Amino acid sequence: MSKAAAETHPDTGLVKGLGLLDSTTLVVGSMIGSGIFIVSADIARSVKSPGLLIATWVVTALLTMIAALSYGELAAMMPQAGGQYVYLREAFGPLFGFLFGWTMFLVIQTGTIAAVAVAFAKYTGVFFPAVAADNYVLPHVSMQQALAILIIVLLTWINAQGIRTGAMVQNIFTFAKTGALLGLVLFGFFAGRDPQAVTRNFDHFWDNADWTFTTIRLVGVAMVGSLFSSDAWNNVTFTAGEIRNPKRNLPLSLALGVATVSALYIACNFVYLNALPLEAIQTAPQDRVATAVALKMFGPLGASLIAGAIMISTFGCTNGLTLAGARVYYAMAHDGLLFKSFSKLDPKTGAPRVSLVWQCIWACLLTLSGRYGDLLDYVIFAVMLFYILTIAGVFVLRIKRPDAERPYRAIGYPVLPALYIAIAGLIEILLLLYKPTYTWPGLTIVLLGIPVYFIWGRRSGRPNEVSS
């Protein structure tokens, strides 16, 4: 769809091309990558209990839903391109918005794009063995990396054609990946039941759960994997300037998308327990729990089915991340916090082409570096920190702007948002204490943005203040 053929925002020129279905598939598609197929093995090793494995995913689902419902108030109140960047800017000032955008570009969004694209290439190798990490097409560039870069470039080009083109790809792959997960759940419950696994897991459901602080610590630290697998639901807020009727559709898409994915994730973990004893989940080859379940149900064909499902899932996830991330840098540039060229829209498609291109370049460089996995481990602390700050912004803006229009108000306010801040804050403390290698580097990346922010202010010859 051309820019001229769709409604455009009168002030920004952005194309209002996303409806409720599109924004919901963006939530679902950005959340579901490859994590649900593998991270349960690491969680099971950490908690050593079927019940605590499920509890880790249930607590993650509850936290994510509370966060999404809280974000709904901010999204309906400020339906602008950039989403979470705008909420932090308005609640705490431009420095906090900049630090979010800085970390997004440097690591969170681009690193995730790199990691998910490599996951796509990795599972392509199941069908085409030449796509391997040890098969080099150039010095220090493997076939796996080359294919990942090709996917990133392709999806950047697709999204540069306009919001409707990117949304169409997102819808197709989100429906496909949701269907694949649903198929795994249904076949797993009805065809994958293993009596020995059921007896082992459900007769000893709460093994290793002594209901002391030790259990809380185990679950809190183990949630790194489940939280990361459930992340990126906030990406839809970045596209707020391109959503039709955003005051209604943004909060609704957040609730519908997160509820759908959370239900699927919990159901998948029950399938794992239904088909494999806990010890088999903990020791699944290369942590591929879903593949182990599929092999049990379908034999050798199962590995190919799961590889195909992961390829569909990661392709759609990469598209959603590519589409949404560029809108943050576009909004920052509009505020003078990035190079002005980042705010330019393509005159034909209305897409932020420059932001898309630079996002693509940096994601490709991270892919070549091979360090994206470490970077993502480092920033889970920062991701949670920005979620806490944004939800705290609900309280701040209720005080600063009591009379502002709020078409939707956070459900359970103030109890549920405060509960999220308390639990997420406890998880952050546990990570600082028990996984310092995952936390301090991420915090350092965020803090490095502070001098950059002030240096940029001096360079641009303007005060680091952005009007509301």
Residue 444 domain flag:
yes
Contact 162, 2 (CB under 8 A): yes
Residue 467 domain flag:
no
Query: What pLDDT tens digit does each residue of the chain (468 aa) get?
Result: 444 445 666 556 788 989 999 999 999 999 999 899 999 999 999 999 999 999 999 999 999 999 999 999 999 999 999 999 999 999 999 999 999 999 999 999 998 999 999 999 999 999 999 999 899 999 989 999 999 999 999 999 999 999 999 999 999 999 999 999 999 999 999 888 999 999 999 999 998 888 888 899 999 989 988 998 999 999 999 999 999 999 999 999 999 999 999 999 999 999 999 999 999 999 999 899 999 999 999 999 999 999 999 999 999 999 999 999 999 999 999 999 999 999 999 999 999 999 999 999 999 999 998 776 676 677 778 889 999 999 999 999 999 999 999 999 999 999 999 999 999 999 999 888 888 887 888 889 999 999 999 998 877 655 555 433
Residue 466 domain flag:
no
User: What DSSP character marks residue 340?
Assistant: G
Question: Residue 384 sits in a domain of what CATH number?
Answer: 1.20.1740.10
Q: How many residues does the chain have?
A: 468
* DSSP-assigned beta bridge partners for residue 243: 18
Burial group, residue 402, by CB count within 10 angstroms (0-12, 13-18, 19+):
exposed
Torsion angle of alpha carbons 347, 349, 353, 357, nearest 10°?
A: -140
Rounded distance, CA 58 to CA 55, Å?
5
Residue 468 domain flag:
no
What pLDDT is attached to residue 153? 98
Domain count, the chain: 1
Contact 329, 336 (CB under 8 A): no
Domain that holds residue 219: 3-460
Choose among 222, 178, 301: nearest CA to 56: 222
What pLDDT is attached to residue 372? 66
Residue 89 domain flag:
yes
What pLDDT is attached to residue 270? 97
Residue 204 domain flag:
yes
* DSSP-assigned beta bridge partners for residue 8: 15
What pLDDT is attached to residue 279? 96
Choose among 8, 23, 6: nearest CA to 251: 23
Please, which residues have CB within 8 angstroms of residue 461's CB and are 6 or more apart in sequence? none
Residue 375 domain flag:
yes
Quickly tell me which residue has 């990035």 as its tokens: 338
pTM beyond 0.85: the answer is yes
How many helices (H) does the chain have, and how many strands (E)?
Answer: 19, 2
List b or e across 212-225, with b for residues whose CB sees 16 or more CB atoms inside 10 angstroms: eeebeebbbbbbbb
What pLDDT is attached to residue 3? 45
Residue 28 domain flag:
yes
